[in-house]
């Protein structure tokens, strides 16, 4: 009897609160509340779990050559991981290519461990060899956390990649006419309650580039930049961008270069 | 012989006692409150926990956001000035209301934070048992649809 | 074998703040796989934390606790406390990790 | 006699010149870059319902992929042309009915699903309206890429003019704004006639919560 009363009272109170909030609720407060939510989950980023696994994989002999990745050259010399991700993508003389973190890691796996890149390219995200890649990426990017984004376009191939990336950013296609620019070329825009960084400007590009790779709470997965871009294209209703393909590296180059000077906050924690 | 047997029995009794003392967590692991976690409604869980109809108390705070950007991860915390020995988090509109419960030994602060899943916007309850009496705090957390939705 | 946890414990003013991240899918038993079959529930059910061998925290989770569970609590303790975190899940899998309060 | 000939000649020359100039500006918008084309061809593969034809741009997409040029003074004529092409493809409802069921319309507006490579061909495509628009003000999770549509009918009235404009706009927004961010729902068969009627009702049924 008493319980019913208390519960009834509680329900009435909640109902009253509900009507109040729904009529008063301004968008401003909704976005403020989202900010509070993000703040509350910021401490305790599950990316740490992947990062620990990645460090182990980095130091563990693997592949036909039974070698570790410890001599991998990510651009700052063999074995230098600290700060390397903050300067990627970049041109590598040994492959004569501009590479992002993941395409470069595939090169290291091939050169050092004898692992065939195609196996990595064909694997689905979050499974098999990609699962290892994701952990390794978490480890590598954590060692650039707090650094400044510092990507060069001095080499002609880097400049060319940047130009291609800029063009790809505005390239419309698919049954919804979307390009990256449809959502990411203006300040102050949102999809639903999610802020959309304006990637054509330094501040927005730094926000976009600087917080990925990240742990996504909606999927409970750690996503590399390749997976992030892959899902962007999926939502754009495009065909499937091949893992490590030039369009993904070109877009990365465009974003990273535009965001130069911003802070690397990886691994991030995202919706 | 008899003497020996008696001392052996005594020994094993002590050993058993020691083992059970050492394996307290294992014992508790087996005590997972199946009935409470399988209870569907708030009332079901209140009944199984022996909470009756807990009173709202200003001494219990449910620390949670007003809006969750995603229902898969909703941060919730309980903090209380009461001498809590047990605490629980319940979500009214989840398929099973009880999300988690905690046991607070003496010397541990009456504070806990974790993250829960919510299928939809719902009232969330923080229950605290202190001196054998249950109190609670309630808060509505809105779960929003986010992203492109594809 | 289950993946390792991340355990952080920081002492401040006689209170040790313990933060734990566990690697676990916390499958709620509500999702369906690609073939339309329900993925059975599989989740951490019990968690026990000891400091220098003495219980400082016990928790019971249901399947509504988020994937890769996070837990934060505080107890009266000191720098150097040896913290042992153990969990067991609904299939009986176990994991124990240790950390030292700093 | 001679003068008229010259006049004619001049007019023709002028016309040719103008056409050339126009074409030049159109061409100048974005040079065809074989390297870029090659990159796009090499970088994508077909997956599920998302075939490689999806990166074969139509005239509208090609034009709008260079916003600097598309928004320039020189781009104006081309914008008109693109709008005319898109307008020409719009069909009025076959049964003469513009307003369907606003409740169904709300569900369509809420859903952002469909047409990705993880969707089956028979998955109903959502309108995704709330992604970009405020509509029913009770829904607090809305985007702002497009304008707010709260009170749509109440503010604009329910005249046939408003109804036809709204119908056209949902069917093919590019008929009014060549490079609108809004998908061409009828042109690409994202929504069928009935679904568009339902979304229309959400905006223009006086009983819809949008107009309360």
Query: What's the pLDDT score for residue C31?
Result: 86
pLDDT tens-digit readout, B93-103? 999 999 999 99
pLDDT tens-digit readout, A88-128? 999 999 999 999 999 999 999 999 999 999 999 999 999 99
- pLDDT by 10-residue block (mean), chain B, 150 residues: 44 40 44 94 96 95 95 96 97 97 96 97 97 96 83
Supply the CATH classification number for the domain A156-270.
1.10.760.10
pLDDT tens-digit readout, A172-196? 999 999 999 999 999 999 999 999 9
For residue B150, the distance in angstroms to the closest alpha carbon of chain D comes to: 4
Q: Which chains lie within 8 Å of chain C at 3 or more CB pairs, if any? A: A, B
Query: What's the pLDDT score for residue B149?
Result: 74
Query: What's the pLDDT score for residue D1?
Result: 44
Domain assignments of chain D as residue spans, ordered by start: 2-88, 102-211
The answer to whether residue A31 neighbours chain D at the CB level (below 8 Å) is: no
pLDDT tens-digit readout, A24-59? 445 667 888 888 999 999 889 999 999 999 999 999
B20 vs A266: which has the higher pLDDT: A266
Say whether pLDDT at A248 is over 60.
yes
Q: Which residues of A touch D65 (CB under 8 A)?
A: 167, 170-172, 179
Helix (H) or strand (E) holding C57: strand C54-61
Sign of the dihedral defined by the CA atoms of residues B3, B5, B11, B13, in that order = negative
Q: Pick the catalytic residue from A72, A108, A180, A232.
A: A232
Nearest beta carbon to residue B72 from set A4, A7, A217:
A217
Nearest beta carbon to residue A34 from set B42, B69, B123:
B69
User: Other CB atoms closer than 10 Å to residue C27's CB: what's the count?
Assistant: 17
Query: What's the pLDDT score for residue B148?
Result: 80
Query: What's the pLDDT score for residue A18?
Result: 44
Query: What's the pLDDT score for residue C30?
Result: 86
The answer to whether residue A195 neighbours chain D at the CB level (below 8 Å) is: no
Query: What's the pLDDT score for residue D206?
Result: 98
Query: What's the pLDDT score for residue B25?
Result: 44
Complex-level ipTM: 0.84
- Are B123 and A194 an interchain contact pair (Cβ–Cβ within 8 Å)? no
> Residue A109 has what DSSP assignment?
I
pLDDT tens-digit readout, D17-39? 444 444 444 444 578 899 999 99
The answer to whether residue A188 neighbours chain C at the CB level (below 8 Å) is: no
Nearest beta carbon to residue C65 from set B77, B95, B114:
B114
Residue B101, Cα to own-chain centre: how many angstroms? 1
Q: Which residues of chain D have pLDDT under 50?
A: 1, 9-10, 12-28
Query: What's the pLDDT score for residue D65?
Result: 97
A108 is catalytic: no
DSSP codes joined into one string, B104-123: --TTEEEEEEEEE--SSSEE
Cα distance between the two ends of chain D? 71
pTM (predicted TM-score): 0.86
Q: What are the CA-CA distances from residue D57 to residues A171, A230, D47 (Å)?
A: 9, 20, 18
Mean pLDDT over residues A129-143, rounded? Answer: 98
CA distance A192 to D120: 25
Q: Which fold has domain D102-211?
A: Cytochrome Bc1 Complex; Chain D, domain 2 (1.10.760)
- Are B115 and C66 an interchain contact pair (Cβ–Cβ within 8 Å)? yes
- Are C6 and A43 an interchain contact pair (Cβ–Cβ within 8 Å)? no
The total number of structural domains that make up chain C: 1
For residue B125, the distance in angstroms to the closest alpha carbon of chain D comes to: 23
Q: Which residues of B touch D130 (CB under 8 A)?
A: 145
The answer to whether residue A218 neighbours chain D at the CB level (below 8 Å) is: no
Strand partners, C12: C15
Domain of residue C94, residue span: 6-100
A36 SS3 class: helix
The answer to whether residue C12 neighbours chain B at the CB level (below 8 Å) is: no
Nearest residue in B to A217, CA atom: B73
The answer to whether residue C28 neighbours chain B at the CB level (below 8 Å) is: yes
D197 SS3 class: helix
pLDDT tens-digit readout, C16-52? 999 999 999 999 998 888 788 999 999 999 999 999 9
Q: Does C71 fall in a domain?
A: yes
- Are B146 and A218 an interchain contact pair (Cβ–Cβ within 8 Å)? yes
User: Other CB atoms closer than 10 Å to residue D30's CB: what's the count?
Assistant: 18
A33 vs A134: which has the higher pLDDT: A134
Mean pLDDT over residues C89-94, rounded? Answer: 95
Query: What's the pLDDT score for residue D107?
Result: 97
Q: Does C1 fall in a domain?
A: no
The answer to whether residue A185 neighbours chain B at the CB level (below 8 Å) is: no
Helix (H) or strand (E) holding B139: strand B133-143
């Amino acid at each position: 009897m008493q319980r019913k009363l208390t519960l009834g009272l509680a329900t009435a109170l909640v109902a009253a609160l509900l009507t109040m909030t729904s009529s008063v609720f301004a968008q401003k407060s909704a976005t403020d509340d989202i900010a509070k939510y993000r703040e509350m989950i910021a401490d305790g980023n599950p990316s740490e779990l992947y990062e620990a696994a990645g460090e182990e994989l980095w130091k563990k002999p693997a592949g036909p050559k039974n070698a570790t990745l410890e001599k991998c050259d990510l651009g700052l010399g063999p074995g230098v991981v600290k700060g390397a991700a903050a300067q990627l993508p970049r041109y590598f003389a040994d492959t004569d290519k501009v590479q992002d973190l993941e395409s470069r890691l595939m090169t290291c796996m091939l050169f050092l461990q004898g692992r065939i890149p195609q196996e990595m390219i064909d694997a689905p995200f979050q499974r098999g060899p990609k699962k290892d890649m994701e952990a390794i990426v978490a480890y590598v990017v954590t060692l650039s956390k707090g650094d400044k984004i510092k990507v060069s376009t001095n080499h002609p191939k880097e400049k060319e990649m940047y130009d291609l990336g800029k063009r790809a950013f505005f390239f419309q296609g698919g049954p919804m006419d979307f390009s990256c620019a449809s959502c990411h070329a203006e300040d102050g825009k949102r999809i639903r309650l999610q802020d959309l960084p304006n990637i054509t400007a330094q501040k927005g590009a730094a926000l976009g580039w600087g917080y990925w790779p990240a742990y996504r709470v909606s999927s409970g997965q750690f996503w590399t930049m390749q997976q992030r871009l892959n899902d962007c294209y999926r939502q754009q209703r495009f065909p499937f961008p091949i893992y490590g393909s030039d369009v993904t590296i070109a877009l990365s180059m465009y974003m990273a270069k535009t965001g130069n000077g911003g802070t690397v906050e990886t691994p991030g924690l995202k919706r | 012989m008899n003497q020996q047997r008696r001392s052996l029995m005594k020994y094993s009794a002590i050993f058993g006692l020691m083992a059970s003392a050492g394996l307290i967590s294992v014992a508790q692991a087996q005590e997972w409150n199946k009935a409470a976690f399988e209870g569907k409604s708030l009332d079901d869980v209140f009944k199984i926990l022996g909470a009756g109809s807990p009173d709202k108390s200003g001494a219990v705070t449910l620390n949670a956001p007003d809006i969750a950007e995603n229902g898969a991860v909703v941060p919730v915390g309980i903090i209380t000035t009461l001498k809590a020995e047990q605490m629980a988090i319940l979500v009214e509109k989840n398929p099973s209301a009880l999300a988690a419960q905690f046991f607070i030994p003496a010397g541990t602060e009456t504070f806990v934070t974790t993250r829960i899943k919510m299928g939809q916007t719902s009232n969330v309850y923080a229950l605290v048992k202190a001196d054998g009496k249950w109190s609670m705090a309630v808060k509505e957390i809105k779960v929003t649809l986010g992203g492109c939705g594809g | 074998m289950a993946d390792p946890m991340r355990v952080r414990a920081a002492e401040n003013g006689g209170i040790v703040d313990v933060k734990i991240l566990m690697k676990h899918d916390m499958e709620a038993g509500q999702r369906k796989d690609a073939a339309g079959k329900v993925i059975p529930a599989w989740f951490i059910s019990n968690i026990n934390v000891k400091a220098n061998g003495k219980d400082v925290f016990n928790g019971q989770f249901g399947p509504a606790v988020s994937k890769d569970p996070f837990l934060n609590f505080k107890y009266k303790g000191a720098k150097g406390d040896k913290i042992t975190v153990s969990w067991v899940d609904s299939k009986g899998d176990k994991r124990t990790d240790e950390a030292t309060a700093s | 006699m001679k003068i008229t000939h010259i006049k004619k000649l001049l007019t023709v020359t002028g016309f040719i010149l103008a056409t050339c100039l126009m074409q030049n500006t159109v061409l100048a918008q974005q040079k065809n870059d074989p390297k870029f084309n090659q990159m796009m061809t090499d970088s994508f593969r077909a997956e599920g319902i998302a075939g490689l034809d999806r990166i074969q741009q139509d005239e509208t997409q090609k034009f709008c992929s260079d916003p600097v040029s598309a928004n320039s003074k020189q781009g104006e004529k081309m914008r008109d042309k693109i709008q005319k092409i898109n307008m020409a493809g719009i069909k009025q409802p076959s049964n003469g009915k513009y307003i369907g069921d606003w409740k169904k319309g709300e569900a369509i507006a809420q859903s952002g699903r469909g047409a990705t490579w993880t969707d089956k061909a028979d998955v109903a495509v959502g309108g995704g309206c709330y992604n970009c628009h405020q509509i029913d003000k009770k829904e607090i999770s809305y985007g702002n890429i497009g304008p707010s549509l709260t009170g749509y009918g109440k503010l604009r009235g329910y005249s046939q003019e408003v109804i036809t404009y709204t119908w056209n706009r949902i069917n093919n927004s590019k008929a009014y704004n060549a490079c609108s961010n809004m998908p061409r729902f009828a042109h690409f068969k994202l929504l069928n006639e009935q679904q568009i009627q339902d979304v229309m009702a959400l905006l223009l049924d006086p009983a819809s919560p949008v107009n309360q």
